Structures are given as C-alpha cells and as structure tokens.
Amino acid sequence: MPRTDGNPTMFERHLQTGIQILLVALLGWAGLELVNLGKNTAVLQERLAYQGQLIEELRKELRDWSNLYYRKSDADREIGNLKRDVQRLGERVTDLEEREP
C-alpha cells in the first residue's frame, strides 16, 4: 500500500529495483544480440563477396570454353557449307565428264 507521506514502501522499492534490474538485463541482452547480428551480417557479406568472385571466375571459364570449342550451330553451318562445296564440285565434275566423249 502506498504511504500518504509520498515515500515508497519497502516492497515498492524492491519492486522498482527488480524492474530496473530486469530492464538493464534486457538492454544487455539486446546489445549482445545486436553485436551477434553485426557479426553474422559481416560473415554473410564476406560470403556474398566470395560468391561474387566465384561467379565471375565461372563466367570467365565459360567464355574461355566457348572460345575453345565450336558451338553446335557453328559446326552445323560449317558442315553445311562444306557439303554445298562438295556438291558443286561434283556437279562440275559431272559437267566435265559429259562434255568429253
């Protein structure tokens, strides 16, 4: 019960002290959680940077591989050109053979 003279009772002082301790403990816990979140954020940023480097290396390797080997479409086009050349040469040979008795 509150006193009429304005001074808190012993129970009220203990309750206030308990609440203050609880608030300080919660603030400490929140601070530790923020520090841990900061650490985790730094770790994730480093991982993302590393992943970005890996992606760039893989892209470079893919470009190098594509320069090293023919693509199927390029090979098909090249084979088509060679087949047309052979066919034209065959037609020329046939024409020459028909001209000479």
Residue 4 in domain: no
16 — pLDDT class (breaks 50, 70, 90): very high
pTM for this prediction: 0.48
pLDDT digits (tens, 9 = 90+) for 28-67: 999 999 999 999 999 999 999 999 999 999 999 888 887 7
Domain that holds residue 77: 70-101
| Residue 1 and residue 9 in contact, taking contact as beta carbons nearer than 8 Å | yes
pLDDT score of 90 more than 70: yes
Q: What is the torsion angle, in degrees rounded to the nearest 10, for the CA atoms of residue 14, residue 16, residue 20 and residue 22?
A: 70
Residue 5 lies in a domain: no
Q: What is the pLDDT of residue 75?
A: 84
Whether 24 is covered by a domain: the verdict is yes
Number of structural domains (the chain) is 2
